[in-house]
Amino acid sequence: MSPETPLVTTTRGPVRGERRADGSCRFLGIPYAQPPVGPLRFAAPVPPEPWTEPLDATAYGPTAQRRPFADVTTIPEPCVPGEGVLNLNVFTPEPDPEAGLPVLVWIHGGGYVAGSAASPWYDGAAFNRDGVVLVSLGYRLGIEGFLHLDDAPDNRGVRDWVAALEWVRDNIARFGGDPAKVTVAGQSAGGGAVQTLLAVPSARGLFRGALSVSGAVMRPDGPEVARTVSRLFTARTGLPATAAALGDLSDDELLDLQDRLGQPGPDREGLPPMLSLVPFADGDLIPEPVLDALTTGDAGAGVPLMLGFTAHEFNMIPSPAAGPDGPPLPVLLGGLGLVGERAAAFAETYADTDPAGLFGQALTDLTFRAPSLAVADARAEREQPTWLYQFEWASAVNGQAYHCLDLPFAFDLLDAEGVEAAAGGTPPQALADAVHRAWVGFVTDQDPGEEWPAYTSATRTTMIWDETPRTAKDPLAAVRTVWLG
């Protein structure tokens, strides 16, 4: 084990990281593209200018998230000021070019408008301990990343993901990784990113496996929806949806406009129920809607996929029907597509659920469980290697297996900042051992292990992550009946 400060020369220049107490190394804030400012603010990512002197890579780089969301998020998500937000972090057991270790590339969540690769929940120490190199990346968010502009390339945030994966292809061997053994993974918006990348032709060959955690892919997501969002932006702000009109605005001004776009209102009719600034099928980078590509097309063919969700992702969201002026619950559920026989099946399935939690359960099913189940079913029909899970261990804080709760188990970081507030004082280490072991197995061998059989049309075997992990045959049949028919 080399005791000196680690130095690696990338294709653009040398970077100096730090060796940690456990012997592993980390390199933080490495630019994979030029800062998206000035004429590059709404442009496709451009490779960084070369440098000759070692770049200090011992502190997290700037984040695209410009203001904290600590009052609404479970995950600690630091905001780091600065222009160079297109940067990534590499955690490695040892920057040995001969090591050839498997690589996990992590894309953070945050609804495509927030989130931070600098979160302590994404530290790669446990993966390094188990022989995996971890890369976490930042990308453009919100208006800068995803609003359709008439004079700029679409899906700029998606282009950032592809550029980061190209950096990994060209550089990760120098950090001890094997560019032919890359698994791309992410949670929430990051899980949606994983599914999106499976449908992006230019991303083919940049990763061999995919891991989608609570993946959020909004529907509908065709070009007409993106243009509707742009028209709504102009109607609400008075500004054209163009790079020329927005390019000189400050971060705060752009965020204020983004807030106005995100407000509820009757003029949002026809748009997805929650998120507006998201990846969409532009006919070019993303040729067709992602879920169509994954369920009826050949997107992701031959790429092993592990995907799943928590049992109560959004159940903690209070129902608008609970307020004195809120609409009746049937109206709310009808807006989510629960009408007629589907509404009756939903009521029967959740007959024992507190009515106050039904709206959140419907959001959980609509946004996460049903789409992922549809993808798993479609892949199983085509005999594509797929593993499905549901995380059911309930937090001592609120009695639910809610959004983000599974991440410190997967990263084996139960002692990280914020975990006790999310999970309670005694989350089971044995469960973290099991979940993390399955992730390491998937990244290393493209198979989570013999105790977790693949998902097939014949068995629909699903891993249930609970105090005692177990597999079950088709435990989500009721969800399929309600939402997929």
Handedness of CA 249, 250, 253, 257 (dihedral sign): positive
Dist CA 84 CA 82 (whole Å): 6
* Annotated active-site residue in 119, 188, 230, 276: 188
Token digits of residue 305: 């996929």
Catalytic, out of 313, 392, 395, 436: 313
Q: Name the CA dihedral angle for 369, 363, 232, 68, rounded to a multiple of 10 degrees.
A: -90
142-156: buried (b, 16+ CB within 10 Å) or exposed (e) per residue? Answer: bbbbbbbbeebbbbb
Residue 341 known to be catalytic:
no
Active-site residue, 313 included: yes
Centre a 10 Å sphere on the Cβ of residue 115 and count the other Cβ atoms it contains: 28
Q: Is 417 a catalytic residue?
A: no
The whole-angstrom separation of Cα 128 and Cα 101 is 10
E strands of 325-429, at which residues? Answer: 386-391
CA angle 366, 368, 371 (to 5 degrees): 75
What is the chain's percent helix, strand, coil content, to nearest 5?
35, 15, 50
**Other beta carbons within 10 Å of 234:** 14
Spot the catalytic one: 108, 148, 312, 403.
403
- Catalytically active residues are 188, 313, 403
